[in-house]
Structures are given as C-alpha cells and as structure tokens.
Amino acid sequence: MGNWYWWMLLGMAVVTYLPRAIPLTFLEGKELPPAVSGVLRNIPYAVLGALIFPAILYAQPDDLLFGVIGLASAALIAWWGGGVMGTVLGTIAILAVYSLLAG
C-alpha cells in the first residue's frame, strides 16, 4: 500500500479508541439521571437492529436473495438455540449450498 496506509491506520486507531475510552474513564462515579441511564440500557438492542438491517440484505451487493436467505437462516438457527458459533457456521453452510447451486 505505501506510507499513507500507516498514517491512515494511526488515524483509524485513534478515532476508534477515543469513543470507547472517554465515557468509561470520564463518567466514573457520576450519577446519571434515571431517564439517561434508561436510554443507555436500551442501546445494545437498538444498535444491533440498526447494524443488521438493511446491511445484511447487501452482503452480496448484486444478489438480494443471498441476504434474505442469510437473514432468515440466521434468525431461525439463533431462535432454536444455535448460539453465536452455531448461527454463524450454520448460516455460512446454508449460503455455501445456495452459492454452489446459484453460481
């Protein structure tokens, strides 16, 4: 890549670390109002919803069906208690079969 890559990496490392570290190190010992901590407790579930949809549909940018099958498989396997590992590997297996048949 070249020199620019390492400068870019430094920049990426800094801007990734700061949002992780600032709240943990500077909010210590400060009581947050109940409304604020209520909102903060909601965030894990909301952020997962936004990370999954709609990006999962475009996992293969030119094949929507791939994403739809992936979403459905992952949701079903996870629902039936597949856990993180079972869900990830199971979904890959199903899509491998699909890609083999479609491609």
Partner 1 sequence: MQREGLSAGLKAGLTIAIGYFPVALTFGLLAKTTGLSLIETVAMSIFVFAGAAQYISLSLIAAKVDPILIVLNTFIVNIRHFLMTASLNEKMQPDARWKKAVYAFGITDETFSVISTTGDGRVRTSYAAGVIILSYASWVIFSGIGHVIGANLPLFLQAAMSIALYAMFVALLIPSLKGNRKVVLLALTAAAMNGFFFWSGLLSTGWAIMVSTLASAIFVEILYTRRGNVIRRAVERKEGA
Give the footprint of partner 1 on residues 63-82 (CB under 8 A): 66-67, 70-71, 73-75, 77-79, 81-82
Calculate Rg over the CA atoms of the chain.
20
The separation between the first and the last C-alpha atoms of the chain, rounded to the nearest angstrom, is 32
The count of chain residues that interact with partner 1, using the rule CB under 8 A, is 76
How far is CA 47 from each of CA 11, 14, 44, 84, rounded to the nearest angstrom?
Answer: 24, 22, 5, 17
Binding string, residues 36-55; x marks residues near partner 1 by CB under 8 A: -xxxxxxxxxxxxxxxxxxx
CB of 88 to partner 1, least distance (A): 5
Q: Rounded distance, CA 87 to CA 80, Å?
A: 10
Note whether 29 binds partner 1 by CB under 8 A: yes
Note whether 62 binds partner 1 by CB under 8 A: no
Note whether 33 binds partner 1 by CB under 8 A: no
Quick one: tokens of 85? 């590992």
CB of 66 to partner 1, least distance (A): 8
Q: Tokens 């400060």 — which residue?
A: 30
CB of 75 to partner 1, least distance (A): 6
